[in-house]
A and B are shown apart, each in its own frame.
Chain A
Amino acid sequence: MSVLEVDDIVVEFDTDAGRITAVDGVSLHLATGETLGLVGESGCGKSTLARAIMQLVPMQRGSVRLEGTDLGSLSRRELRRMRHRIQMVFQDPRGSLDPRMNVSTLIGEPLKVHSIGDRTSRAKAVAEAMELVGLPAAVADRLPSELSGGQQQRVGIARSIVTDPAVLVCDEPVSALDVSIQAQIINVLDELRDELDLAMLFIAHDLSVVRHLSDRVAVMYLGQIVETGTASEVFGEPRHPYTHGLISSVPRADAESAARLQTARRLVLGELPSLLDPPSGCRYRTRCPYATAECAEAEPAPEPVGPADGLHTVRCHHWRTIVSAAPEPQESAPSQELAI
């Protein structure tokens, strides 16, 4: 059963230049113990979607159901009581920690805010959370400024799991960290998911990290999900030209690196259009080498790739013909031979 069900969310904002639709009809679901990776370029709406799911920005349409409860139907008070079941990890660990609180106070704060447990049980929960994220007990009395970047992010994660959430929303949790610290934090998240059976929405622009952590993946472009499926379907056999372009853009440490970037250049043309004036029909058509008149007229609906009840769907009028015309079919083959 899905622990999180997001149905047809629309989020609009007023900006100085006019009204924009940052999230445009997004649906997704998450099961216990499952990680859904959300990828897309800056401005595609992935962070706004995360905030909408957290009920931190108002939605114009759609619903978010957490463990069966429609969060939109709750009063503020009831919502506050639900909040400990869905928690968030942010990009900048330092900016999200109160510099005057020590580590144990910071980690215990969500329990206090949600009035969970008494002093003794809170202290125990804090100690457990610290152990789960690999923070030594010795740092409990330190201030955030006395911690390394990796330790700060561990505190951020400990804060988010201390309330025993069912869902963890991670918004670029490692992108502000140095590479060696990134690996540690990725492992922490990986272990937590297994240990606590968390459902995780993992937002990142680094496709390698997303592939490493995710069971399923959704690709966002201009507020819409253009392709979704299992990580191996979407990353191994991309059907949307944008997904294929994104994947080809990832610089890999191998001899075909430069050639792959050329493929990316052919698949992602020009610049990201403004959300103030999104293209008619298919959102991607202004950058797509396969676009036709049909793409400007009609908005493609998500279509199943393979079996109708399968998870792999794509939003493209031409995905069937593009498959055969894919510039480098060997790319979508499993890459075991590369690993030898």
Chain B
Amino acid sequence: MSSLPLLEVEDLHVTFRTASGPVHAVDGVSFTMRPGSSLGVVGESGSGKSVTARALLRLFAITDDVQISGAVRFDGQDLLRIDERRLRDVRGGQIGMIFQDPLTSLNPLMAVGEQIAESLRLHRGMSRSEAASEAVELLARVGIADPEQRATELPSSFSGGMRQRVMISLAIACRPRLLIADEPTTALDVTVQAEILLLLDELRRSEGMALMLITHDFGVVAATCDDVQVMYAGKLVEKASMAHLFDRANHPYTEGLLRLVPRFEDAHTGRLHPIPGQPPITGGGGSSCAFAPRCSHAVDRCRSEVPPEIAVGPEHVSACWLAAERAKDTTDAGHPWRRTP
């Protein structure tokens, strides 16, 4: 695997101007992805994880009054600075996207095969007949039975899981080098979710594309991603390999998220541990740790200075003033979120 980054995001800021003032949805986010790698982005609603993904492709509604700064280098070009026409080539071309609700991204009045073929003609310059047969091929690749027949059907005749497969076939039609999946399985039943996660993982390996998966569920990340980053109030608060995070979650917010949900393997183990309070509605941009008001470990410094990203292990950083101390604790005494009786 090449170590040259495929995607390099540097100091990304996204600010929405709203009637009630500016919202710093993304507040200085930097990260890189290597070709073929897989990255999970985890956080609560409003943490800025979806806005980060949309900002990479400048996918905002016309009605959004939005300001983006920083750099998004993809394959040598800064996506924030190229013109709209070239950006359209990247969207759906080198970068594919899938969303939680496939119905909002599929044309309800057009047969799914035609929609895929249209994208193939547009981005890969195929002829009408080439594109039509490649569309059938793609539907087969994402596990849709009887693809010739199904290609002629409208999105409404597909079940939720099958519709998400159609969406995935559309997203990979142009052999993207990066696939961004924003909560792709949240609306699906658990058995269908399992299928879709396996499919994404297999496609990533067979097509050699990188995968950025946005979710609130660490289990989903564990099943599909090698690396994980946790967002809070528009900032990346922790980055690590998923394997490393199992044992050594460092940031108190990450720890809180992991302890928040009942784990299937635990029978009833008493009450859950909700994180008190709520995320700030104005996003980041403050002069303190944004998590400090909800953090049971916070000290004075947390309330007066923004913590930098502190290295706590190989390719593991935590934006917490107590990171070094906490790293020592987790290696010494096993991990706090592993709730031993």
Which A residues contact B (CB, under 8 angstroms)? Answer: 41-42, 148, 178-184, 186-187, 190-191, 205-209, 211-213, 231-232, 235-236, 245-255, 257-258, 261-262, 264-265, 268, 270-272, 335, 338-340
Q: List 5 A-B contacts (CB under 8 A).
A: A183-B275, A211-B264, A212-B272, A335-B266, A339-B265
**Contact (Cβ within 8 A) A249 B191:** yes
Using C-beta atoms within 8 Å of the partner chain, give the interface range for chain B: 35 or more
- Interface residue from A186, A271, A339 paired with B266 (Cβ < 8 Å): A339
What residues of chain B lie closer than 8 Å to A207, measured between beta carbons?
190, 264
What residues of chain B lie closer than 8 Å to A181, measured between beta carbons?
274
The distance in angstroms between the C-alpha atoms of A4 and B307, with both chains bound, is: 55
The distance in angstroms between the C-alpha atoms of A205 and B188, with both chains bound, is: 10
Residue of A nearest to B268 (CB): A212
The distance in angstroms between the C-alpha atoms of A93 and B145, with both chains bound, is: 39
What residues of chain A lie closer than 8 Å to B265, measured between beta carbons?
252, 254, 335, 338-339
**Contact (Cβ within 8 A) A249 B264:** no
**Contact (Cβ within 8 A) B194 A248:** yes
The distance in angstroms between the C-alpha atoms of A216 and B321, with both chains bound, is: 45
A264/B272 contact (C-beta < 8 A), A183-B260, A209-B262, A251-B219 known: no
Is residue B338 within 8 Å, beta carbon to beta carbon, of the partner chain? yes
B278-299, CB < 8 A from A: 278
Known: A186-B262, A251-B220. 14 other contacts (CB 8 A): A41-B190, A180-B278, A183-B261, A184-B274, A205-B190, A211-B264, A231-B268, A250-B219, A251-B217, A251-B219, A258-B223, A268-B194, A335-B265, A340-B338
Is residue B197 within 8 Å, beta carbon to beta carbon, of the partner chain? yes
A179/B257 contact (C-beta < 8 A), A232-B267, A246-B191, A265-B195 known: yes
Instruction: Give the distance to chain A from B99, nearest Cβ to Cβ, in Å.
Output: 18
What residues of chain B lie closer than 8 Å to A339, measured between beta carbons?
265-266, 338-341
The distance in angstroms between the C-alpha atoms of A209 and B267, with both chains bound, is: 10
Is residue B315 within 8 Å, beta carbon to beta carbon, of the partner chain? no
Is residue B263 within 8 Å, beta carbon to beta carbon, of the partner chain? yes
B293-341, CB < 8 A from A: 334, 338-341
A178/B216 contact (C-beta < 8 A), A183-B260, A183-B274, A190-B271 known: yes
The distance in angstroms between the C-alpha atoms of A232 and B224, with both chains bound, is: 28
**Contact (Cβ within 8 A) B261 A252:** no
Question: Most chain-A CB neighbours within 10 Å: which of B217, B246, B266?
Answer: B266
The distance in angstroms between the C-alpha atoms of A246 and B264, with both chains bound, is: 12
Is residue B44 within 8 Å, beta carbon to beta carbon, of the partner chain? yes
**Contact (Cβ within 8 A) A208 B262:** yes
Residue of A nearest to B264 (CB): A208
**Contact (Cβ within 8 A) A179 B267:** no
Q: 10 closest pairs, A vs B, by CB?
A: A251-B219, A212-B262, A335-B265, A183-B274, A253-B218, A249-B194, A257-B222, A257-B223, A41-B189, A183-B272
A249/B193 contact (C-beta < 8 A), A183-B274, A257-B219 known: yes
The distance in angstroms between the C-alpha atoms of A271 and B157, with both chains bound, is: 14
The distance in angstroms between the C-alpha atoms of A268 and B190, with both chains bound, is: 11
**Contact (Cβ within 8 A) B198 A261:** yes
Question: Most chain-A CB neighbours within 10 Å: which of B219, B273, B341?
Answer: B219
**Contact (Cβ within 8 A) B246 A255:** yes
The distance in angstroms between the C-alpha atoms of A257 and B265, with both chains bound, is: 12
The distance in angstroms between the C-alpha atoms of A44 and B133, with both chains bound, is: 36
Which B residues contact A (CB, under 8 angstroms)? Answer: 44-45, 145, 159-162, 189-195, 197-198, 201, 216-224, 243, 246, 257-258, 260-269, 271-275, 278, 334, 338-341
- Interface residue from A148, A206, A261, A340 paired with B278 (Cβ < 8 Å): A148
Question: Most chain-B CB neighbours within 10 Å: which of A179, A211, A232, A340?
Answer: A179
Residue of A nearest to B188 (CB): A42
**Contact (Cβ within 8 A) A261 B194:** yes
- Interface residue from A180, A254, A264, A340 paired with B275 (Cβ < 8 Å): A180
Residue of A nearest to B162 (CB): A271
**Contact (Cβ within 8 A) B263 A213:** no
Instruction: Give the distance to chain B from A45, nearest Cβ to Cβ, in Å.
Output: 14
**Contact (Cβ within 8 A) A179 B260:** yes
- Interface residue from B224, B246, B263, B264 paired with A258 (Cβ < 8 Å): B224
The distance in angstroms between the C-alpha atoms of A165 and B161, with both chains bound, is: 38
The distance in angstroms between the C-alpha atoms of A230 and B44, with both chains bound, is: 32
Residue of B nearest to A258 (CB): B223
What residues of chain A lie closer than 8 Å to B339, measured between beta carbons?
339
What residues of chain B lie closer than 8 Å to A184, measured between beta carbons?
274
What residues of chain A lie closer than 8 Å to B221, measured between beta carbons?
253
**Contact (Cβ within 8 A) A264 B191:** yes
A268/B191 contact (C-beta < 8 A), A207-B264, A211-B264, A255-B243 known: yes
What residues of chain B lie closer than 8 Å to A252, measured between beta carbons?
219, 222, 263-265
A251/B193 contact (C-beta < 8 A), A178-B45, A180-B260, A257-B223 known: yes
What residues of chain B lie closer than 8 Å to A186, measured between beta carbons?
262, 272
**Contact (Cβ within 8 A) B274 A246:** no
Instruction: Give the distance to chain B from A207, nearest Cβ to Cβ, in Å.
Output: 6
The distance in angstroms between the C-alpha atoms of A53 and B45, with both chains bound, is: 35
The distance in angstroms between the C-alpha atoms of A41 and B221, with both chains bound, is: 22
What residues of chain B lie closer than 8 Å to A261, measured between beta carbons?
194, 197-198, 223
What residues of chain A lie closer than 8 Å to B268, measured between beta carbons?
211-213, 231
**Contact (Cβ within 8 A) B222 A340:** no
A340/B260 contact (C-beta < 8 A), A205-B190, A251-B197 known: no
The distance in angstroms between the C-alpha atoms of A249 and B188, with both chains bound, is: 12
**Contact (Cβ within 8 A) A262 B44:** no
The distance in angstroms between the C-alpha atoms of A261 and B258, with both chains bound, is: 20
What residues of chain A lie closer than 8 Å to B338, measured between beta carbons?
339-340
**Contact (Cβ within 8 A) B274 A253:** no
The distance in angstroms between the C-alpha atoms of A272 and B158, with both chains bound, is: 12
What residues of chain B lie closer than 8 Å to A178, measured between beta carbons?
44-45, 216
Residue of B nearest to A184 (CB): B274
The distance in angstroms between the C-alpha atoms of A4 and B49, with both chains bound, is: 45
What residues of chain B lie closer than 8 Å to A235, measured between beta carbons?
264
A262/B198 contact (C-beta < 8 A), A251-B193, A251-B222 known: yes
